[in-house]
Amino acid sequence: MNFDEITRLLSEKFGSDVIIEVQTAGLQPALIINPNSIIPVCKELRDNKNTWFDFLSCLTGIDHGLEQNKFSVVYHLASIPHKHQLVLKVIIDHDRNLDSLPSFISVSDVWKTAEWHEREAFDLLGIQFEGHPDLRRILLPDDWEGYPLRKDYIAAEEYKGIKIKE
């Protein structure tokens, strides 16, 4: 199935509001999916024998920068039987308030790969994943303050009495 057929399949199955935008500008076209319907979309893409995206290559959390106040998660899917790839994106607005983190729905039920990748996104970007079974920091220490890959992150002066900055 090519990209247009997948787009048609999804909008026929879940209605036209499931795909918010179709990005075809770059080398790899992408579908921007409604944040609330990411789970049924992913399950359909995985279980439908025509698409059969059984392999989640990569899951990336992105901070869009200070002007935009947006966060997004990008899913790179691959199909081993059909050898095709697909990019899904979910974008939500968020005001960077540290008391309530931007919240996405976890796809770790669909692909277990997502479990550690979502922990990484939570760790480095402060993105919450609803329904994740084990959302803890993964690369940084458990008591680290702040989320380093956010564009407004200021590195701490010291950590437990150890000077970080020169």
User: Residue 155 or residue 161: which is nearer to other proteins going by CB?
Assistant: 155
Positions 4 through 43 that interact with other proteins (CB under 8 A): 25-28, 30
User: Residue 17 or residue 116: which is nearer to other proteins going by CB?
Assistant: 116
* Other beta carbons less than 10 A from residue 106's beta carbon: 21
Structure tokens given for 65: 């920068």
- State the nearest-atom distance from the C-beta of 105 to other proteins, in Å: 15
Residue in 7, 70, 149, 159 binding other proteins, rule: CB under 8 A: 149
Torsions phi, psi of 155, nearest 5? -65, 140
Q: Quick check: 161 binds other proteins (CB under 8 A)?
A: no
Total length of the chain: 166
Distance CA 59, CA 105 (A): 13
Structure tokens given for 78: 């691959």
Asked if residue 37 lies in contact with residue 13, where contact means CB atoms within 8 angstroms, the answer is: no
E strand or H helix at 32: strand 30-33
- State the nearest-atom distance from the C-beta of 166 to other proteins, in Å: 16
Positions 58 through 77 that interact with other proteins (CB under 8 A): 58, 60, 62, 74, 76
Distance CA 90, CA 42 (A): 12
- State the nearest-atom distance from the C-beta of 85 to other proteins, in Å: 8
SS3 59: strand
Positions 110 through 129 that interact with other proteins (CB under 8 A): 111-113, 115-116, 124
Residues that bind other proteins in the complex, under the rule CB under 8 A = 25-28, 30, 54-58, 60, 62, 74, 76, 78, 80, 83, 85, 87, 111-113, 115-116, 124, 133-141, 148-149
